[in-house]
Structure 1
Amino acid sequence: MNEIQRTAAFDPWTESVPLLSKKVLDRTLKRMEGRGLVVRHEEPAVFPRSVTYSLSPAAHDLLAAGSPLVEWAEKNQDLIAPVRRRNAERRRRRQPTERQHDGQGDEG
């Protein structure tokens, strides 16, 4: 990998992404590491322990392959958004309400 690699310690990520807990971030990074998408770098000599993650060569390849799909989605948001809204509305109508689900229904 070259010097320009994406690295992130936990605190900047959890501060910049609302509602992202350290536990969720840790679990996600471990899964990504297990799948070969990130490389974990630990410097135990530093206190507190310093851990960074960088994208693996496979992740860079995946990003390059996925870029055309992302570009297409961005260019076609006007087509995609109404379909997503319509599908979300259908799902909402099919799901029972909480009152129906707990047996109280509308009978009162």
Structure 2
Amino acid sequence: MTSTNSVETQAQTQFDHPCPVRDVLDRIGDQWSLLILTALTPGTLRFNELHREIGDISRQMLSRTLKRLEQDGFIERKLYAEVPPKVEYTLSPLGHSFLVPMQALIEWADANHVQICQSRRQHRAQNEE
């Protein structure tokens, strides 16, 4: 094995994905993750509370996205041994650290959404001619 291959193997062992930006954006840039993280910003919520807060997400997609966010360390899941089972979700320290850049992104999107929509309409109109 050459030293280059050794470095590449070490990098693959250290990180699951060679590009940190793409890896993180793939996770938080999906359709639901930011909405879930935003919903958890005020504090802990149960599954049904999250489902009501977000509204138009299916239960299956909410469950799948929560599992991925927990796997990546953005949220923590606490299961209570009750009947029926009680599960609560809260932001982890990593999730809390993401609130500052997430809020900046949300504010930027709010400030520029009208301009982006206008550009899309203009582009469609030019391409239809």
Give the TM-score of the pair, scaled to structure 2.
0.55
Q: In the alignment, which residue of structure 1 is the partner of 2:62?
A: 25
Deviation >6 Å, runs of 4+: none
Q: Distance in 2 between matches of 1:59 and 1:36?
A: 7
Matches for 1:1-108 after TM superposition, within 5 Å: 6-44=43-81, 46-86=82-122, 89=124
Q: Could you say what secondary structure the match of 2:69 adopts?
A: helix
Residues 86, 52 of structure 1: CA spacing in aligned structure 2 closer, same or farther, 3 A cutoff?
A: farther
Q: Give identity over the alignment, percent.
A: 33
RMSD after superposition? 2.5
Count of aligned pairs: 86
Q: What displacement does 1:78 show?
A: 2.6
Of structures 1 and 2, the larger Rg is shown by: 1
**Rounded Cα–Cα distance in structure 2 between residues aligned with 1:8 and 1:48:** 16
The 8 Å contact of residues 45 and 88 in structure 2, kept in 1 or not, is answered as yes
Higher helix share: 2
Give SS of 1:51's match: strand
Match of 2:18 in 1: none
Q: Tell me, in whole angstroms, the C-alpha distance in 1 between the residues paired with 2:99 and 2:66.
A: 17
SS of residue matched to 1:76: helix
8 Å CA contact 1:5–1:54 kept in 2: the answer is no
